[in-house]
Amino acid sequence: MAKVLIIGAGGVGGVCVHKCAQVPEVFSDIVLASRTLSKCDAIAASVKRKTGRTITTAKVDADNVPELVQLINAHKPDIVVNLALPYQDLTIMDACLETGVPYLDTANYEPLDEAKFEYKWQWAYQDRFKDAGLMALLGSGFDPGVTNVYCAYAMKHLFDEIHELDIIDCNAGDHGHPFATNFNPEINIREVTARGRYWERGEWVETDPLSWSMMYKFPEGIGPKKCFLMYHEELESLVINIKGLKRARFWMTFSDNYLNHLRVLENVGMTGIEPVEHNGQQIVPLQFLKSVLPEPASLGGRTKGRTCIGCKMKGLKNGEVKNYFIYNICDHEACYDEVESQAISYTTGVPAMIGAMMMVTGAWKGEGVFNMEQLDPDPFMDKLNIHGLPWVVVDLDKQ
């Protein structure tokens, strides 16, 4: 029986709270804190409707360490689950160290003024978490998160060495808006407009943003979709932790409509992260854009279709070449029926809950800062099947 403190009342935070509430035998107490208390209260009302459980809500500015320390000391949780924005990772880690509470997040730290997608700032906390005897689990969403666990599972059960890895993320859903992002628009647009990067023969190769594409035929009736090569943060830890990797790439599908809108927004400067002067005030164009786009959490009721995210891997088992695709398919409308959210937030919020469950039940133990593939994949994979993200392994040589 554990008390979880979830910080961040957005799309992902909402799902995670619902999923924790569905497992009262593990999460006996749930506290949700965020910058806007009314958003916490709206989630609490949704959880009450769906599960009958009452959760505690609180207001916090997660950029402020003393405020976080006060919140953590007031509630004394067994774990802090950070589902605010990547900008808050380090302040929340600092507060966890100060109060002696384990930490979990779903996205790596980002400084406000540069789009880097690097683990270096959080890996630098290794000794401090080790010395404090605390565990910090990084990237317990879907990608990063489940994709890392798929790799660890493949390494443990399917391969002796993995040589080629393609992580492929397809959202075949439609929210009916001309343009909206499925998770925080600022983070999403920063990611998509950044230069592409993949790992080959021991070094990183850069590409122009969205300049490489391939067609991939997705399973279970989704069919062929155009996928674009992007850099994604899980590649950084996977190339270190997965034995024998010679090439690792990340691909994401985008509709022509999304790309056309993005191109126009970029061309007129609306995706910039440098402040500009407007009516005597400094504003960041991308932050302004975020404030006029639909909130990801509002897309739930109107999104139809499915997502398919998986890892395609080629490697050796007993000297023989093997090819596998491990994937999950998630239905937007089914997610909404269950937790009043679309599938992108669902596929992130469920693994955040499972990661927290691994930590508070002791299935995953450790002192220091961990990426997901460093831990035993089996108990996590079991819980994915139970808690709404079932997976499939396809032997591509037998199709």
Among 85, 239, 248, 286, binds ligand NDP (CB under 6 A): 85
Within residues 106-165, the interface with ligand NDP by CB under 6 A covers: 106-107, 139, 141-145
> Which residue is associated with the tokens 């035998």?
25
Give the residue, chosen from 19, 27, 29, 35, that forms a contact with ligand NDP under the rule CB under 6 A.
Answer: 35
Cβ proximity to ligand NDP, 35 vs 197, nearer residue: 35
Residue 48 dihedral angles phi and psi, to the nearest 5°: -60, -45
> Can you read off the two tokens belonging to residue 186?
């600022």
Query: Over the Cα atoms of the chain, what is R_g?
Result: 20
Task: Pick one of 6, 17, 32, 83: the residue that binds ligand NDP (CB under 6 A).
Answer: 83
Question: CB under 6 A: which stretch of 59-67, 96-104, 212-220, 382-390 binds ligand NDP?
Answer: 59-67
Q: State in angstroms the smallest separation of the CB of 281 from ligand NDP.
A: 19
Q: H helices of the chain, where?
A: 11-21, 37-51, 65-75, 89-99, 120-123, 126-131, 146-157, 185-193, 234-241, 256-267, 285-292, 332-339, 343-360, 377-386
| One-letter amino acid of 323 | N
| Residue among 59 and 246 whose Cβ is closer to ligand NDP | 59
Residue nearest ligand NDP (C-beta atom) = 10
Q: Which is nearer to ligand NDP, 63 or 338 (CB)?
A: 63
Q: Which residues contact 335 (CB under 8 A, 6 or more apart)?
A: 15, 300, 341, 342, 343, 345, 346, 388
Q: φ and ψ at 368, to 5 degrees?
A: 125, -165
Cα(370)–Cα(105) distance, integer angstroms: 11
Report, in Å, the least distance between residue 227 CB and ligand NDP: 17
Handedness of CA 252, 145, 82, 195 (dihedral sign): negative
User: Rounded CA gap, 241 and 253, in Å?
Assistant: 26
Rank residues 22 and 307 by Cβ distance to ligand NDP and give the closer one: 307
For ligand NDP, which is the closer residue by CB, 142 or 159?
142
* Tokens (6 digits) for 371: 């990426």
Could you say which residues in the range 314-343 bind ligand NDP, by CB under 6 A? none
Pairing of strands 247-253, 161-171: parallel
* 10 near ligand NDP, rule: CB under 6 A: yes
Instruction: State the minimum distance, in angstroms, from the CB of residue 127 to ligand NDP.
Output: 25
Q: Applying CB under 6 A, which of residues 41, 63, 94, 200 lies at the interface with ligand NDP? A: 63
Residues in binding contact with ligand NDP, number by CB under 6 A: 34
Instruction: Determine which residue in the list 6, 29, 80, 86 makes contact with ligand NDP, applying CB under 6 A.
Output: 86
Q: Is 297 in the site for ligand NDP (CB under 6 A)?
A: yes
| Site track for ligand NDP across 176-215, x = CB under 6 A | -------xx--x----------------------------
**Residues ≥6 apart with Cβ < 8 Å to 300:** 11, 332, 335, 336, 340, 341, 342, 345
232 near ligand NDP, judged by CB under 6 A: no
Please give the single-letter amino acid code of residue 63.
D
Binding site for ligand NDP (CB under 6 A): 8-13, 34-36, 39, 60-63, 83-86, 88, 106-107, 139, 141-145, 183-184, 187, 296-297, 345, 348
